[in-house]
Amino acid sequence: MHKLNVFLFLIPLFLLSLYNAAVPNRQDISLLEKRALKALPQFSWEALRTGSYFRDYDNYFADHFAFRDAFVHAGSALKELRGIPAGDQASIVVQKGNNMFQDMTAATPPASGLDKTSVASGTYASAAVPASASALADSPAPALAPQSQAAKDEKGQLEGTESDKYLVVKDRAMSLFSYNDSDAEAYAKSLNLFAESIDPGVKVYSLLVPSAVEFLNMDKYRSLSDSQKDAIAGVNRRLSGRIVPVDAYKPLADHSNEYTYFRTDHHWTALGAYYAYRAFAERTGETAVPLSRYDTAEVPGFLGSAYAATLNKNLKKNPDTITIYKPFVPHHYTLYWYDDVPLKRNVVDPGYAGKEGGAYQVFLEGDSPWGRIETENANGKRLLVIKDSYGNPFIPFLLPHYEQVLFLDLRYFKTNVLDFVKEQGITDVLFLDGIAVTSYDGYSDLLRSKMGTAKR
């Protein structure tokens, strides 16, 4: 009987292994988790000697196992059964191996452009600041049921610093925020260096976008996330006189009871972006266009990055709706990939929602190296927005005020930024980034690297 039990146990494993070898998962990107899957490691004697080859191969195998998505779903369901949920149905989810600088909102490039894995993973992902696991016990909140947890060291802190930590409360998930003062200082210094390196006649602005957890109206969870108001102030006080800070925090706080952030994604909605646009318009001396001036369209059923990280069933039952505010200013939008072949696109388009990168692509068709929007405003003003994916729903609101609106994303942009500003005749520059840039120094290093070979 014992031998029979062993036989019955091994047979399914053998058959599954055989099937996996014959029909492995060949996807480059997990649409379920919205991340790049591990690539097959290249063999080298050095990698074999250090043991990194087999570690990388193990990660590759885990990412390309047959029926992987089904196992991920099953694993998520089992995790939700662990522990007793708090009265608020709250839990903490730790998503290892990812951070906010690896947004999976990039549009799929043409065959001649960047490969999908490079787009998805990003090159400059840095470690998030480790959070104390004991914070939950110290908080006045009830004990939370952990859904995923990294290994703990002897001090009880979470190891594995490349993690996104999500607070899930009922039908919404928010990425927790950890502030690092030295990284905030590095960010401000990199912007100051940029401003000092361009023509003094070019105006430079900085707008940091707070995330949804900052405006969670539940005091008992507030200690789980650092103050983003203080983080933004920490950056702004270090900016030189060449840079004008734009306060997006107050208008978002004033409208925090509105649908300004998605529940299943870490981004803001177009409505949240609009309130920040009004603050920017005021800072530049422009009159913001009333929201009533725009025709709208909706894209229902959006499950974003926070759902992909947590696979929480309450989020799945309550997807977001993306509202689009259609530009009314005549314009032409051209998107560029690495081969610099111009691609005619729409600034907002519900049709982009079904593409591989996810429904957030309805804005600008997702992240790309750079793009140009030409309008009929003959005022000579050319704005360059140096952005992460928070800038995508923000940019369409700028069309009434500029002759050209250009944007670039440092994660994919390969040309020297200072040369680009000069060559394109830029009159104004806006840095628009999510608050996560104050949690790691990857962005600062990236910006400096893109200024390194400029002709001064």
- pLDDT tops 80 at residue 60: no
- How would you label 150-168 residue by residue, b for 16+ Cβ within 10 Å and e otherwise? beeeeeeebeebbbbbbbb
Q: Judging by DSSP bridges, how do beta strands 382-387 and 428-434 pair with one another?
A: parallel
Number of domains in the chain: 1
Q: Which residues contact 103 (CB under 8 A, 6 or more apart)?
A: 122, 305, 367, 388, 389
Q: How confident is the model at residue 358 (pLDDT cuts 50, 70, 90)?
A: confident
Asked whether residue 319 is assigned to any structural domain, the reply reads: yes
Per the domain annotation, does 62 fall within a domain?
no
Q: How confident is the model over 275-288, as a mean pLDDT?
A: 98
CB 73 within 8 A of CB 33: no
| Alpha-carbon torsion, ordered 354, 327, 324, 310, to 10 deg | 70
Contact 448, 192 (CB under 8 A): no
Residue 235 counted as domain residue:
yes
- Please tell me what DSSP assigns to residue 293: G
Least confident of 74-83, 246-255, 292-301, 356-365: 74-83
3-state secondary structure 25-74: CCCCEECCCCEECCCCCCCCHHHHHHCHHHHHHHHHHHHCCCCHHHHHHH
Residue 268 lies in a domain: yes
Q: 315 with 168: CB under 8 angstroms? A: yes
For residue 59, pLDDT beyond 70: no
* Alpha-carbon gap, residue 46 to 53, rounded angstroms: 9
Q: Which domain holds residue 420?
A: 177-449
Rounded Cα distance, 75 and 67, in Å: 12
Whether the model pTM is above 0.75: no
Average pLDDT rounded to a whole number, residues 281-286: 98
Residue 16 is predicted with a pLDDT of 54
Would residue 239 count as lying in a domain?
yes
Domain contains 158: no
Task: Check whether 52 has a pLDDT greater than 90.
Answer: no
- Classify each residue of 172-203 as buried b or exposed e, where b means 16 or more C-beta atoms within 10 Å of its C-beta: bbbbbbbbbeebbbbbbbbbbebbeebeeebb
- Residue 66 falls within a domain, yes or no? no
Does 280 have pLDDT greater than 70? yes
Tell me the pLDDT tens digit for each residue of 138-156: 333 333 433 333 333 333 3
**Chain position carrying tokens 């499950």:** 303
Confidence at 210, pLDDT banded by 50, 70, 90:
very high
Q: Is pLDDT above 60 for 182? A: yes
pLDDT bin (cut points 50, 70, 90) of residue 164 is confident
pLDDT in tens, 233-243: 999 999 999 99
Task: Judge whether 33 lies within some domain.
Answer: no
pLDDT band at 366 (very low <50, low <70, confident <90, very high): very high
